[in-house]
Amino acid sequence: MRRFPWIPIAATAIAIVASIPPASAGPLLWQTSSQGDDIHVFDLESRQLVRRLVVGPEPHGIAAPDDARAVYVTLEANDRPRGELLWIDPRTYRVEHRMEICREPHAIATTPDGRWIYVPCRDEHSWAIDAEKREVAARIRTGGRPHNVRISRDGRLALLSPMGDAGRVTVVDIEAGHQVVGEIVFAGSVRPSALSDDGRLFQHVDGLNGFQVADVGSREVVATIEHDTVLGWLLVHPRLGWLGPAGLRRCHGLAIRPGQQEIWSACGASVTIHDVADSTYPELARVPLASKAYWLTFSPDGRWALVALSGADQVAVVDAAAREVVVQLPTGAGPKRNLVIDLAPGRGGAPSRRARY
């Protein structure tokens, strides 16, 4: 493993919930542990652990509405016939409700108002959950292995990205009763995605060291962008990635920085930054990391990027302006999806228009 001795590893103690100080009023990072049973909550101002929540087997997906009245979490529960969807109160850290759902639920998304939760399931469907009634409203067949989902800022469209050879993203009209209204075909099996405010879908695709861009309105792929950084010597298989000195590496994590000027793409042990205001999407910079990155998000003000290092059981806090790692925080096993919310008084829990995930 490549080592970075100049990056401090935070000596934050992992303690039982009762012994940890009360939650901060500032932005909080919620980091899942896809190979463990817990969620770590960090205060981004002090970079201290606020809570360690033991929630159940393999917490994977995480999302919250704009007002942050709840945090929704899926438990993948790989050794069980069904997983769970949790409603957690972010102010008390109590699990308010548990709903048994499909087999191996993955990354999730919610409408900005929190009414609907979309859950990709290992049954070739994504499930639409009514968050108020806490019941299944619809099951949308996508085929493949449903894996990721994005929802538009107006809450009207859901974009479902299942893994599979067809490389299709299913477009769903939420307001029309969760009806499929189209699809976007990419160059290969689709992985993580990011959705801009102006309706561009950025998509990681198996076998591509970079990402593709689609116009959601026209349902057309309009650009294919490759990173300058080499991931390895040999592309072993599109689904496995490139073989190099540190083993197999692939792209797995896309996020648009608040302000809608940059997209950050996690591939192997680095994040590559591109300009999204320019239609050619030029590469701006690369941030080296200490281990394989497998998800990322931003603080609401865009000051910090939070990159899950799944192989190191850490999350890297990156100064987004300086484009450098300032600290790595210890997490549970296999950190992947993460979320930042702000519960500061006077902001209604809705920082800069959204909870970030």
Query: Tokens standing for 297?
Result: 């998000």
Instruction: Provide the mean pLDDT of the chain.
Output: 89
User: How confident is the model over 93-105, as a mean pLDDT?
Assistant: 96
Residue range 335-357: average pLDDT?
A: 69
pLDDT in tens, 291-323: 999 999 999 999 999 999 999 999 999 999 999
User: Could you state, in order of their start, the residue ranges of all structural domains in the chain?
Assistant: 17-353
Q: 327-337, pLDDT tens digit by residue?
A: 999 999 999 99
Enter the tokens of residue 50.
């606020």
Query: Cα(156)–Cα(176) distance, rounded to whole angstroms?
Result: 9
103 class by beta-carbon count within 10 Å (0-12 exposed, 13-18 middle, 19+ buried): middle
Q: DSSP code of 42?
A: E
pLDDT exceeds cutoff 50 at 42: yes
Q: Residues 162-186: pLDDT tens digits?
A: 999 889 999 999 999 999 999 999 9
Alpha helices in 241-327 (DSSP H): none
Q: What is the pLDDT of residue 3?
A: 34
Query: What's the pLDDT tens digit per position in 70-97?
Result: 999 999 999 899 999 999 999 999 999 9
* Burial 121-151, CB ≥16 within 10 A → b, else e: bbebbbbbbebeeeeebbebebebbbbbbbb
How many Cα neighbours within 13 Å face the side chain of 28? 25
Residue 348 is inside which H or E element, if any? none
Fold of 17-353: Methylamine Dehydrogenase; Chain H (2.130.10)
- 238 backbone dihedrals φ, ψ, rounded to 5°: -50, -35
Q: Are 83 and 103 in contact (CB under 8 A)?
A: yes
- Taking only the tens place, the pLDDT of each residue in 125-175 is 999 999 999 999 999 999 999 999 999 999 999 999 999 988 999 999 999
